[in-house]
Structure 1
Amino acid sequence: MRRLAGLLVVPLLLLSTAACGNDTKGSDNASMTNGLPAITAGAKFGEKPTLAKGEGDPPKELKVNVVSEGDGPVTKEGDALQVNYLGQTWDSTTPFDNSFDRGEPFTLTLGAGQVIKGWDQGLKGQKVGSRVEIGIPPELGYGEQGSPPSIKGGATLVFVVDILKATTVPKAAEGTVVAQENKDLPKVGTNTDGKAPSLTVPKTDPPKELVSNYVIEGKGEAVKASDTLTVQYQGVLWKDGKKFDSSYDRGAPATFQLGGVIKGWSKGLEGKKVGSRVLLVVPPADGYGDQAQGPIPAKSTLVFTVDILAKQ
């Protein structure tokens, strides 16, 4: 998983009622712009920026400066965003992370809790094509625990973010229901209300090869190996039907690169249409093999339902 995911995804952050500001008042300090560190180089959208060190007291509430406004649609909660970013702490001139050097945008689902609250709040309501600078107080970032070694406890964070793309994510698969006639395979529900579909595993021996079947066939583009997908999914063990993971239980879709998951997913979802619900039966060789993985015992056959909601 890319480094930003390790830095930004912190599920235990405290709730906050901090407001989002967009101060247009100038600063007498040349190293500051509208209360946030100035961009000293690479100021244009798409360029890797350089930020000055923060001066004076950092903002106590979330602060958002629109550096340049795009002309695309306004982002909303639930959108799948593609962004480039650079982040550093208020009292530093050295970035702790950035996507520009990797040459690969970062993808997130806005408002899904996949990133720190300062990102979810600061990127909402911005136009695609915009560059924004966000000052994030500790309670909307990593709090007093920080994210060692790069981010100390109580740090105020400053990000420059280029919003490249926003995709509206539907709540569920939608398309043509496909008959499930093989009694030796799991049966999957066909509801389209955004709730987890039923999933019943037969009391038979599992298949030895990967199974990837449409339950609902969508009408979108075919998934490519290089795509980043936003999905709702659940996973159970074949041997007892016990659930080991579910994005439905977390209350938000998951976003990931198809090339960064187990073989059963990368092989089973490639070529499937966006908007579809897919049954995956993943034998150990295409899953976790001889290694146990948390609640998944070694040599387990895995069963997934996957709603392919969007791709980037």
Structure 2
Amino acid sequence: MRRRSLLIAVPAGLVTLAGCGDGKKSDSSKASGSASPSAQATSAAPPPKIVDGPLPAITGGTAFGTKPTVAKGSGAPSKELAVKTVIAGSGKTVAENDYIQAHYLGQVWDTGKVFDNSYDRKTPLLIQLAQGSIIDGWRYALTGKKVGSRVLFSVPPTWGYGTSGNSQAGIKGTDTLVFVADIQGAFNATSSAKGTDVAQSDAKLPKVGTNTDGKAPSIDIPKTTAPTKLVADYVIEGSGEVVGAKDTVLVQYKGVVWDSGKEFDSTYSRGQLQSFSLQQVVKGWAQGLTGKKVGSRVLVVIPPKLGYGDNPPPNSGLKKDSVLVFSVDILAKM
């Protein structure tokens, strides 16, 4: 079972498809198998002053994307947030509340003890730079940096785990932490699929728009009987990694009902991307996205037996045995 990052302050709290419209929140900590800091560990302190140092040296693994080794801190650490861009990227500038994908290593200033790293897991962190989703030191250190950058920074307790620390990670309430983060991607509400358009030649299936401007694509339902089996076809085929059945994905999506064409759920309408494990969604989503490539837009038509059947979520506006039609942009996976 995948170990959950110790960086996360609280579960992201995003509504999964399995609970669409019912107000239930996903509990990613149950799927991860490791402890995480509680909501109380999230700092309510004012923004820190950003300073240049002191910072320990990176002594090995100096290339972007490779596991670094970092010297133990020398002398007293800054009481502010010390940040240094070690490698300057040339990609998109990261903004607060963006989702980022990053490899990272974290260690304690005084001892040099590594308490967490994603390189050994061979899986980058996928998280929103939002208060309550990740420790504040990350929000302030990485906002304004560019994708492709390696950032070295130190986080005092005020913008880390507070005076309670994190006993499961061996972090005391007085510990300043040192991080190296390799920013591999950044995503927000304007992000779209990137790839090659695929012909939509079956007249019995919905046609999905291929715009990639961050706006919701059109979904045109044909005047035919809905399919009784799951449909999961590329609209735009990306070139990223293949999504596995146990992966967590970051998506843009729009959902309409086959019979009426009426929209009932959409990240575009909310202006907010959604991240969830494929183990926490309706079977049609899990089966439809498994095997698809990151960067793709996928048409997913879900028959009732793989959707909500005769038990649609309260307040969703869905009727019993509705056939659901989705356009899904797979932006990233973890």
Normalising by structure 1, report the TM-score: 0.60
Residue of 93, 96, 101 corresponding to 1:76: 93
Measured after TM superposition, the shift of residue 97 of structure 1 is: 0.6
What is the distance in 1 between the residues matched to 2:165 and 2:148?
31
Corresponding residue of 1:240? none
Corresponding residue of 1:276? 297
Residue of 251, 270, 294 corresponding to 1:231: 251
Counterparts in 2 of 1:134 and 1:246: CA distance versus 1, 3 Å = farther
Q: Is residue 2:176 matched to residue 1:156?
A: yes
Measured after TM superposition, the shift of residue 258 of structure 1 is: 6.5
Q: Does the 8 Å CA contact 2:83/2:153 hold for their aligned counterparts?
A: yes
What is the distance in 1 between the residues matched to 2:87 and 2:119?
20
Q: Does the 8 Å CA contact 1:212/1:278 hold for their aligned counterparts?
A: yes
1:41-87 CA deviation, whole Å, 9 max, x = no partner?
31512243134146425423x22123x223x3254236654422111
Q: Does the 8 Å CA contact 2:103/2:181 hold for their aligned counterparts?
A: yes
Measured after TM superposition, the shift of residue 108 of structure 1 is: 3.7
Report the secondary structure of 1:8's partner residue: coil
Report the secondary structure of 1:76's partner residue: coil
Q: Does the 8 Å CA contact 1:77/1:110 hold for their aligned counterparts?
A: no
What is the distance in 2 between the residues matched to 1:162 and 1:273?
19
- In structure 1, runs of 5+ residues without a counterpart are 24-33, 200-205, 237-242, 289-299
Q: Does the 8 Å CA contact 1:116/1:142 hold for their aligned counterparts?
A: yes
What is the distance in 1 between the residues matched to 2:178 and 2:9?
16
What is the distance in 2 between the residues matched to 1:97 and 1:126?
22
Report the secondary structure of 2:168's partner residue: coil
How many equivalent pairs are there?
A: 289
TM alignment of 1:210-225, pairs within 5 A = 210-212=230-232, 217-218=235-236, 220-221=238-239, 224-225=242-243
Q: Does the 8 Å CA contact 1:76/1:110 hold for their aligned counterparts?
A: no
1:237-271 CA deviation, whole Å, 9 max, x = no partner?
xxxxxx9x986798642346779977643430234
Counterparts in 2 of 1:138 and 1:229: CA distance versus 1, 3 Å = same
What is the distance in 2 between the residues matched to 1:247 and 1:89?
38
Corresponding residue of 1:239? none
Residue of 47, 52, 56 corresponding to 1:18: 47
TM alignment of 1:1-312, pairs within 5 A = 2-5=2-5, 7-10=7-10, 12=39, 13-19=42-48, 21-23=50-52, 34-36=53-55, 38-39=56-57, 41-42=59-60, 44-45=62-63, 46-53=66-73, 55-56=75-76, 58-60=78-80, 62-66=81-85, 68-70=86-88, 72-77=89-94, 81-110=100-129, 114-150=133-169, 151-153=171-173, 155-163=175-183, 165-166=184-185, 170-171=190-191, 209-212=229-232, 217-218=235-236, 220-221=238-239, 224-225=242-243, 229-233=249-253, 252-255=272-275, 264-269=284-289, 270-271=291-292, 274=295, 276=297, 278-279=299-300, 281=302, 305=326, 307-308=328-329, 310-311=331-332
What is the distance in 1 between the residues matched to 2:143 and 2:275?
17
The letter for the 2-side match of 1:48 is: P
The letter for the 1-side match of 2:120 is: D
Across the aligned residues of Structure 1 and Structure 2, the Cα RMSD in angstroms comes to 5.5
The letter for the 2-side match of 1:224 is: V
What is the distance in 1 between the residues matched to 2:148 and 2:193?
28
- In structure 2, runs of 5+ residues without a counterpart are 13-38, 220-225, 257-263, 309-320
Percent identity among equivalent residues?
Answer: 37
